[in-house]
Amino acid sequence: MALDSALFYLELPHTIQMAYAIQPLIDAAKQYLVSRYKDLTKCMQQEEVMALPLSEIEAILASDDLHVESEDVVARELVIEALLFKEQPPASLEANHRRFVERAYKLRHVTVLQVQLPWQQHHYVVGFNLKREECANLFPSGQLYSHPFHLGVHAFFLKAECNMDQQSSFHCFGLFLGMPENAYSAESSLAVDYEFTARSRPPEPIANEFLSKYKGNCTFTEGTVVGHKNMFAMPWNSFIAQDSLLFKDDVLHLKVRLTIKT
């Protein structure tokens, strides 16, 4: 058994007719991979391990013969690195490094932080970061939705889009907050104060801080959407330009502050 043959056997089609005939080969291939990589503390950083298909990595991690201090050790460092990358990709990473290439998600990742303050027990901050390339791809009429997130039992989403400002007749960047039409909640509506903020570089008055761009309040029910079609009060070309103050390391940093009114 060799690495190439082991990978070949594990990728064979698993049809009912072939299952009995190829099962011994599959078992032998898994045993070989486990024997080769059973000491993960020594080989975890090797490019050879990182290049293995997912099914082969699963076969290795499923083995009881791994030489690790505890199960917490298995892939922990890689998981932490992946989570940190999704939160804010380091600008210094090479774009073609396969270990850190981010997938083209249809729904964008958001972070939700509940702020516990004595006078505001239901205050949330939702982070919604977009790459310059993602923003550029919205032109002329594209939309990008966030993953649904919850405020208590109520589901919400954020939506970024490029749209036409009817008053000035130019394209611009819009940001919206909504409650899905099929959202399930124990209550029929939810009153929320919302504020859209964005991070900007100097020469804004407060360097690198999140500045308020739009705010209001609304009682949300299923299908309710609020927001601003021209959140930055500028045409699209100015918003997306290379010298735009809104992008830091080619990332647009947005935060939506939400307070549930009780």
Q: Model confidence over 134-170: pLDDT tens digits?
A: 999 999 999 999 988 988 888 999 999 999 988 778 9
Residue scoring higher pLDDT (73 or 91):
73
Respond yes or no on whether the N-terminal peptide bond of residue 140 is cis (omega within 30° of 0): yes
Q: Which pair of tokens denotes residue 126?
A: 């939702």
pLDDT at res. 53: 79
The pLDDT of 223-232, averaged and rounded, is 95
The closest of 91, 88, 132, 90 to 110, measured between CA atoms, is 88
Provide the CB-side half-sphere exposure for 94 (13 A, CA): 4
pLDDT at res. 73: 61
Mean pLDDT check: name the lowest of 50-64, 106-120, 205-219, 241-255: 106-120
Q: What is the pLDDT of residues 85-144, one digit of tens each?
A: 655 555 544 444 455 555 556 777 788 887 765 555 688 999 999 999 999 999 999 999
The pLDDT of 6-15, averaged and rounded, is 75
pLDDT at res. 80: 67
pLDDT at res. 221: 92
Sequence ranges of the domains in the chain: 3-79, 107-260
Q: What is the pLDDT of residues 166-216, one digit of tens each?
A: 877 899 999 999 999 875 554 678 999 999 999 987 665 555 588 999 999
Residue scoring higher pLDDT (27 or 94):
27
Residue scoring higher pLDDT (31 or 240):
240
Fold of 107-260: 2.60.210
The alpha carbon dihedral of 152, 155, 158, 164 has a sign of negative
Q: Which pair of tokens denotes residue 218?
A: 């609304």
pLDDT at res. 247: 94
The closest of 78, 83, 95, 79 to 250, measured between CA atoms, is 95
Provide the CB-side half-sphere exposure for 104 (13 A, CA): 4
Where is mean pLDDT largest: 44-58, 184-198, 237-251?
A: 237-251
pLDDT at res. 26: 85
pLDDT at res. 195: 97
Q: Which pair of tokens denotes residue 236?
A: 């699209």
Q: Work out the angle between the directed axes of helices 3-10 and 16-37 (0-180°, nearest 10).
A: 140
Q: Work out the angle between the directed axes of helices 3-10 and 54-61 (0-180°, nearest 10).
A: 100
Rounded Cα distance, 194 and 190, in Å? 12
Query: Are the C-beta atoms of residues 110 and 127 closer than 8 Å to each other?
Result: yes
pLDDT at res. 89: 53
pLDDT at res. 223: 92
